[in-house]
Structure 1
Amino acid sequence: MTDENPEYSALAFIRLLSWLSPSFPNGAYSYSHGLEWAVEAGYISDRRSLIEWLEADLCYGSGRNEAIFFIEAYRCVTEAAENQLPHLAELAAASRGTSEFALEAAQQSSAYLTTLRRAWPDRVLDIFSDPKCPPVSAVLLGVCSARSQIPVGIALPAFLHSYVANLVSAGVRLVPLGQTDGQFAIAALEQAILSRSEIATRETVDDLGSAGVMAELASIAHELQYTRLFRS
């Protein structure tokens, strides 16, 4: 998929910044996506190991699938196939590999939907009121980006950047790292974000899959971790 119309309004850009802002009330700050256990177990101990862990998740694990769900939701809107969104959302919700990942995704997504419907009401969001169509953050943001005519070449990298930045923030608190180290980590992941975004534009749900085994094992172990700061 390419950006046929690279021009979009300043208003749409501001909306994208709002949706992906750390201040958006979706509770993302309270989840570590298994990082908390990975730090305790010694798999992540410094900036370099944090970057390697997150790059693997982005390119081969959960981040990879999130990019595909985002692009497929974007396509559903641009190709006037909104009737396919319930099936896509159901598939995305069912793709979580652990109970903690499922809780993390469900609670953040529900919070996303509530705020989006109140602050940026759109008829297409009514689709996700059906219990058979669970809200999923990647699907919601793919839909809203397409509805606001934000080019996918901007929207998808921004979404993945937000995904990574939230986990870097968790890593900064857990390792712990300094704020500057956190920015170095985000900078080091820029090319992975752009590469994953570009590849995702050529993929469909048929390409879904994950080799992020360690992230899922970390999530399973985190559920039984004795001392926890994060919910996942």
Structure 2
Amino acid sequence: MSGAMDTKALLRLMAWLSPAFPIGGFAWSGGLERAVEDGLVRNAQGLEDWLSTVLEHGSLWNDAVLFCEAWRQADNQGALSEAAALGLALAGSAERFNETLSLGKAFIAAASAWPHPVFERLPANVPYPVAVGAVAAGHDVACVQAVAAFLHAAVSQSVSAGIRLSVAGQAEGVAITARLETRIEALSLRAASSGLDDLGGAAVQAEIASLRHETQHSRLFRS
């Protein structure tokens, strides 16, 4: 399952990670809204720097590691349960916990339109990267391409949130996505050869922003 994808696998990956896939990803910002409120992200360059840091040193790196672990363990119910529990335990705030759990459950419900025994091996409470990684493996979607698409979708969603928060325009958002492409590719290759011992992060401001968002009065996003 580590080689190139066939057309059917590609079409499924495109569907699962499309903004139109009904998981409610548009409602979450992963703490970005609070970072904008606190002046940590002020413009398009700040948004790109924020996303680069979260990719390399924050929650998206951990998500990539968990995604690849779930991909490798897709046939092992016990290992999937352990990965899911670890993914939920790593959530640094109530909102981040609710975000990954809500997206994970919604993904499983929607992706069940493509039946596969892997759904029976996943626990009821499953974080988003574990859900997508296991289902991708079950449907023979290659690991590197699957996690790259997952990270690209996460970045695209954050760019969209940044546009809604008025720190970047549409053209700037597209340019950010284009510039982060090489970083996403390299990170996907690294994550595919990683293990659970590689979990960890140092994006302290992002974690604090996520915590502070819980008490933010006026907001557009749930995290």
Q: In the alignment, does 2:176 pair up with 1:171?
A: no
Could you tell me how far apart the structure 1 residues matched to 2:57 and 2:103 are? 22
The CA deviation at 1:29 is 0.3
Contact (CA 8 Å) 1:38, 1:44: kept in 2 or not? yes
- Normalising by the residue count of structure 2, what TM-score does the alignment of the two structures yield? 0.95
Q: Which of 52, 62, 67 is residue 65 of structure 1 equivalent to?
A: 62
Q: Distance in 1 between matches of 2:78 and 2:101?
A: 21
Query: Could you tell me which residue of structure 2 aligns to residue 9 of structure 1?
Result: 6
**Is 2:41–2:167's contact at 8 Å kept on the other side of the alignment?**
no
State the AA in 2 paired with 1:161: H
**Stretch deviating more after TM superposition (53-62 or 221-230):** 221-230
Structure 1 unmatched runs, 5+: none
Q: Distance in 2 between matches of 1:146 and 1:159?
A: 13
In the alignment, structure 1 residue 127 sits paired with structure 2 residue 118: no
Match of 1:48 in 2: 45
User: Of the candidates 204, 226, 232, which is equivalent to residue 217 of structure 2?
Assistant: 226
Q: Which runs of 4+ in 1 moved over 4 A?
A: none
1:1-232 alignment, distance < 5 Å: 3=2, 5-6=3-4, 8-77=5-74, 80-117=75-112, 119-128=113-122, 130-131=123-124, 134-232=125-223
Aligned length: 223
Q: How does the TM-score come out when normalised to structure 1?
A: 0.92
Q: Letter of the aligned partner of 2:118 in structure 1?
A: V
Q: Percent identity?
A: 38
- 1:13-54 Cα shifts (integer Å, max 9, x gaps): 100000000001111101111111111111111111000001
C-alpha contact 1:39 1:175 (8 A) present in aligned 2: no
Letter in 1 for 2:85: E
Instruction: Give the Å deviation of 1:89.
Output: 0.9
SS at match of 2:219: coil
Q: What is the aligned-residue RMSD (CA, Å)?
A: 1.4
Deviation at 1:150, TM superposition (A): 1.6
**Runs (5+) with no aligned partner, structure 2:** none
**Counterparts of 1:16 and 1:197, CA distance in 2:** 15
Q: Secondary structure at the match of 1:17?
A: helix
Asked if the contact 2:76/2:121 (under 8 Å) is kept, the reply is: no
